[in-house]
Structure 1
Amino acid sequence: MRAIWKGAIAFGLVNVPVKVYSATEDHDIGLHQVHNADGGRIRYQRRCEVCGEIVDYADIDKAYEEDGRTVILTRDELKSIPAESSHEIEVVQFVPSEQLDPIMFEKSYYLEPDSKSPKAYVLLRRALEDTDRVAVVQFALREKTRLGALRIRDDVLVLQSLLWADEVREAAFPALETAVRISAQEREMSAALVDSMAGDFEPGQFTDDYQVQLRKLIDAKIEQGESLDTEQTFGAEAAEAGSGEVIDLMEALKRSLEKKRGGGGAAQADDEGKAPAKASRPSASGRSAASKGAGAKTTAARSTASKATASKDSAAKAPAKTAGKAAATEPVAKEPAKSRRKGA
Structure 2
Amino acid sequence: MRALWSGYISFGLVTLPVQLFAATEEHGAGMHQVHASDGARIRHRLVCERDGREVPRSEIAHGWEGLDGHTVVLLDDDLAVLPLPTRKTVDVLGFIQERDVDPVLYSKPYWVGAAGETGQRPYALLVEALARHGTVAVAKVTLRTRERLAVVRPRHGMLVLHTLLWPEEIREPDDLSSASPVTDRELELAELLMDQLVGVDIADLHDEYAAALEQLVVAKQSGGELAEPEEPVPVVDLIAALEASMRAAKERPTGSS
TM-score, structure 2 as length reference: 0.74
CA distance in 2, matches of 1:65, 1:156: 41
CA distance in 2, matches of 1:24, 1:47: 31
Partner secondary structure for residue 135 of structure 1: strand
Q: Where does residue 204 of structure 2 map in the other structure?
A: 205
Q: Which runs of 5+ in 2 are unaligned?
A: 223-257
What are the equivalent positions in structure 2 for 1:214-225 lying under 5 Å apart?
A: 214=213
What are the equivalent positions in structure 2 for 1:101-250 lying under 5 Å apart?
A: 101-117=102-118, 118-173=120-175, 176=177, 179-197=179-197, 199-214=198-213
CA distance in 2, matches of 1:119, 1:77: 35
Q: CA deviation at 1:2?
A: 1.7
What are the equivalent positions in structure 2 for 1:323-338 lying under 5 Å apart?
A: none
CA RMSD across the alignment:
2.7
Partner secondary structure for residue 93 of structure 1: strand
Q: CA deviation at 1:38?
A: 5.8
Aligned residues: 218
Q: Where does residue 94 of structure 1 map in the other structure?
A: 95
CA distance in 2, matches of 1:89, 1:67: 32
Q: Which runs of 5+ in 1 are unaligned?
A: 225-344
Does 1 or 2 have the higher relative contact order (CA < 8 Å, sep 6+)? 2
Structure with greater helix percent: 1
TM-score, structure 1 as length reference: 0.57
Q: Where does residue 246 of structure 2 map in the other structure?
A: none
Which letter maps to 1:213? A
Cα distance change, pair 65–87 in 1 and its aligned pair in 2 (3 A): closer
Which letter maps to 2:180? V
Cα distance change, pair 51–179 in 1 and its aligned pair in 2 (3 A): same
Cα distance change, pair 68–44 in 1 and its aligned pair in 2 (3 A): farther
2:64 and 2:74 in contact (8 A); partners too:
no
Q: CA deviation at 1:125?
A: 0.9
Structure with greater strand percent: 2
Deviates more, 1:205-214 or 1:80-89: 80-89
Partner secondary structure for residue 117 of structure 2: coil
